[in-house]
């Protein structure tokens, strides 16, 4: 693997998931692989899981890790070509990426969608610019359009927990007071399209995800019908894609409750976290034995570790 920017950078999902599960049994098996190699983690947005699990994954591989809170501690970067830089941006990505690449072997970047400029967000300008100018492997820790490390952890979790060969997996929208990006949902859709699953998306009208991503995936606008016979209920809020970045409704009828989970085939509850209790999901669901959110977060380490291992193998 050269870069991990999107789910499609995984060549053989089944094999990668299996390798990640094997790593979990012996996380320090490849402790020498990353010796004298440095991973640089750059954050333009907050994080708990991604930061700590990616750091832990690198440590398991024997790498050194440097973390930088880019939005607070560094110069504001310009990403446009040919701009007259007489505004608030102090440094161009062309220099910044090349300079950073001299200090490390792999760069990982978190840069959320603006949710104001659809075109720029869909071009994934921050992560793509790092890829273009750094000249070393780049890993996506959630970009404007995707969160492939989360999706890989989700695929690992479903593989570990499934009771039938082809489970029914439902991605459900749920309400949230703030406008959230589409990245987590996009990457989950992409990875479910590769997985042996009966996959259904449910959301209120107006919350359709990018059709270039959902393609011919089934969309069921009736959440209760979607939940019938589900083996996994994966919950996420996202803002409107059509009316880009807007919160169209915060309809609490879409909150995940015990009554709704009772319609499923004793489904496992999944969420990437952080989650707003009693807005997105009722306490009684997230606190139930069917909630696997903590295990899901645990698998972030092994998802990151298998990705870093594949990049190091290729170095």
Task: Establish if 184 lies at the interface with ligand AN0 (CB under 6 A).
Answer: yes
Among 129, 181, 282, 290, binds ligand AN0 (CB under 6 A): 181
Task: Establish if 177 lies at the interface with ligand AN0 (CB under 6 A).
Answer: no
Q: Give the nearer residue to ligand AN0 in terms of CB position, either 91 or 122.
A: 122
If contact means CB under 5 to 8 A according to the sort of partner, which of ligand CP, ligand AN0, none does residue 48 touch? ligand CP
Among 126, 235, 272, 292, binds ligand AN0 (CB under 6 A): 272
If contact means CB under 5 to 8 A according to the sort of partner, which of ligand CP, ligand AN0, none does residue 230 touch? none
The token pair that represents 299 in the structure block: 């698998």
**Can you give the chain as a three-state secondary structure string?**
CCCECCHHHCCCHHHHHHHHHHHHHCCCCCCCCCCCCEEEEEECCCCCHHHHHHHHHHHHCCCEEEEEEHHHHCCCEECCCCCCCCCCCCEEHHHHHHHHHHCCCEEEEECCCCCCCHHHHHCCHHHHHHHHHHCCCEEECCCCCCCHHHHHHHHHHHHHHCCCCCCEEEEEECCCCCCCCCHHHHHHHHHHHHCCCEEEEECCCCCCCCHHHHCCCEECCCHHHHHCCCCEEEEECCCCCCCCCCCCCCCHHHCECHHHHCCCCCCEEECCCCCCECCCECHHHHCCCCECHHHHHHHHHHHHHHHHHHHHHCC
Q: Which residues bind ligand CP (CB under 6 A)?
A: 47-50, 142, 150, 272-274
If contact means CB under 5 to 8 A according to the sort of partner, which of ligand CP, ligand AN0, none does residue 181 touch? ligand AN0
Among 135, 177, 206, 274, binds ligand AN0 (CB under 6 A): 274
Q: How many residues bind ligand AN0 (CB under 6 A)?
A: 7
Which residue lies nearest ligand AN0, judged by its C-beta?
A: 180
Task: Establish if 180 lies at the interface with ligand AN0 (CB under 6 A).
Answer: yes
Q: Which range in 103-111, 131-139, 181-189, 242-250 contacts ligand AN0 by CB under 6 A?
A: 181-189
If contact means CB under 5 to 8 A according to the sort of partner, which of ligand AN0, ligand CP, none does residue 21 touch? none
Least distance (Å) between residue 92 CB and ligand AN0 = 27
Q: Give the nearer residue to ligand CP in terms of CB position, either 46 or 135.
A: 46
Q: Give the separation between CA 219 and CA 226, rounded to whole angstroms.
A: 9
Tell the residue number behind the tokens 């593989």, with chain if given.
159
Provide the mask over 34-73, with x wherever binding to ligand AN0 is found by CB under 6 A and - wherever it is not: ----------------------------------------
If contact means CB under 5 to 8 A according to the sort of partner, which of ligand AN0, ligand CP, none does residue 180 touch? ligand AN0
Least distance (Å) between residue 44 CB and ligand CP = 12
C-beta neighbour count of 109 within 10 angstroms: 25
**Binding site residues, ligand AN0, CB under 6 A:** 142, 180-181, 183-184, 272, 274
């Amino acid at each position: 693997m050269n870069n991990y920017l999107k789910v499609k950078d995984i060549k053989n999902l089944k094999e990668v998931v299996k390798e990640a599960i094997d790593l979990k049994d012996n996380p320090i098996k490849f402790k020498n692989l990353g010796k004298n190699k440095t991973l640089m983690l750059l954050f333009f947005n907050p994080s708990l899981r991604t930061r700590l699990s990616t750091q832990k994954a690198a440590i398991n591989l024997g790498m050194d890790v440097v973390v930088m809170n880019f939005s607070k501690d560094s110069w504001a970067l310009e990403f446009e070509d040919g701009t007259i830089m007489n505004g608030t941006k102090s440094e161009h990505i062309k220099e910044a990426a090349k300079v950073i690449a001299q200090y490390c072997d792999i760069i990982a970047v978190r840069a959320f969608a603006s949710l104001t400029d659809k075109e720029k967000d869909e071009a994934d300008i921050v992560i793509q610019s790092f890829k273009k100018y750094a000249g070393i492997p780049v890993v996506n820790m959630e970009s404007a359009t995707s969160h492939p490390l989360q999706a890989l952890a989700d695929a690992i979790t479903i593989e570990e927990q499934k009771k039938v060969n082809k489970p029914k997996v439902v991605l459900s929208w749920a309400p949230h007071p703030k406008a959230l990006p589409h990245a987590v949902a996009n990457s989950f859709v992409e990875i479910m399209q590769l997985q042996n699953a009966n996959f259904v998306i449910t959301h209120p009208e107006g919350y359709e995800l990018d059709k270039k991503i959902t393609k011919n995936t089934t969309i069921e606008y009736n959440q209760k019908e979607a939940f019938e016979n589900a083996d996994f209920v994966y919950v996420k809020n996202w803002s409107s894609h059509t009316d880009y970045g807007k919160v169209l409704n915060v309809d609490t009828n879409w909150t995940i409750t015990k009554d709704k989970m009772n319609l499923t085939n004793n489904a496992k509850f999944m969420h990437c976290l952080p989650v707003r209790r009693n807005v997105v999901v009722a306490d009684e669901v997230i606190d139930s034995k069917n909630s696997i959110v903590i295990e899901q977060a645990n698998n972030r380490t092994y998802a990151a570790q298998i990705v870093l291992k594949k990049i190091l193998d290729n170095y």
